[in-house]
Homo-oligomer: A and B are copies of this chain.
Amino acid sequence: MADPIDFYFDFSSPYGYFACQRIDGIARKHERDVDWHPFLLGVAFRVTGQSPLPEQPMRGAYALHDFERSARLYRVPFAMPEKFPIPGQVPSRAFYWLHDRNPAQAKDFAKAAYGAYFAKGRDITDVGEVARIAKGVGADADALTAALADDPIKQRLKAEVQAAIERGVFGSPFVIVDGEPFWGADRLDHVEAWLATGGW
């Protein structure tokens, strides 16, 4: 089996949420696994000089419209959360803690957390909420809650974010296939073509 592909996303990114529904299916068709990597778009924005889309004149109003319209097109449950964007530290740290114990469960958690936020408006910056979501996918909520209060998982997320930025990741979603970078949910078709052809 060829190398896994890398899928980077921020828990506050609607386009990351849309892409997370499709990325494993696309990879599976081409006999690839996917390594998921939550990271923090806010840290990348400090390098690129960007700000969250909804805060940008003209682009913000368009983005809010496009989120809803894209969700309807992809038939993904979506209701723009009242609090947006949110800092992704808590669910991202939870992901890495779970990942070290059970990678498949960590993906289930990421999908559930994305859905809790973008479909049900739940506050995934809250440790209690994140622990409940983790419990819902079979994880040990008490052990996770304890770990989230500790320093090692905070350092771990910092290192993951730094590694992402050093690889050139600056947006969400961001996919790397055999070193080839693809930015945006609207590049998944190119990702698929790249996997099918081996590149062009």
Q: Which residues of A contact B (CB under 8 A)?
A: 44, 47-51, 56-59, 61-62, 65-66, 69-70, 72-73, 165, 168, 170-171, 181, 183-184, 186-187, 189-190, 193, 200
Chain B residues near A62 (CB-CB < 8 A):
168, 170, 181, 183
Bound form: Cα–Cα A17–B66 in Å = 23
Chain B residues near A59 (CB-CB < 8 A):
48, 50, 170-171
Please list the 8 inter-chain residue pairs (A to B) with the smallest Cβ-Cβ separation, ordered nearest first: A186-B186, A58-B170, A48-B58, A72-B200, A48-B57, A48-B59, A47-B57, A48-B56
The interface residues of chain A, by DSSP majority, are classed as helix
- 24 A–B contacts from the bound complex (CB under 8 Å): A44-B58, A47-B57, A48-B58, A48-B59, A49-B56, A50-B56, A58-B165, A58-B168, A58-B170, A59-B170, A59-B171, A62-B170, A62-B183, A65-B181, A69-B190, A69-B200, A70-B190, A72-B200, A73-B190, A73-B193, A73-B200, A184-B186, A186-B186, A186-B187
Chain B residues near A73 (CB-CB < 8 A):
190, 193, 200
Further contacts, 19 of them, CB under 8 A, given A50-B56, A65-B181? A44-B58, A47-B57, A48-B56, A48-B57, A48-B58, A49-B56, A49-B57, A58-B165, A58-B168, A58-B170, A62-B168, A62-B170, A66-B183, A69-B200, A70-B190, A73-B200, A184-B186, A186-B186, A189-B189
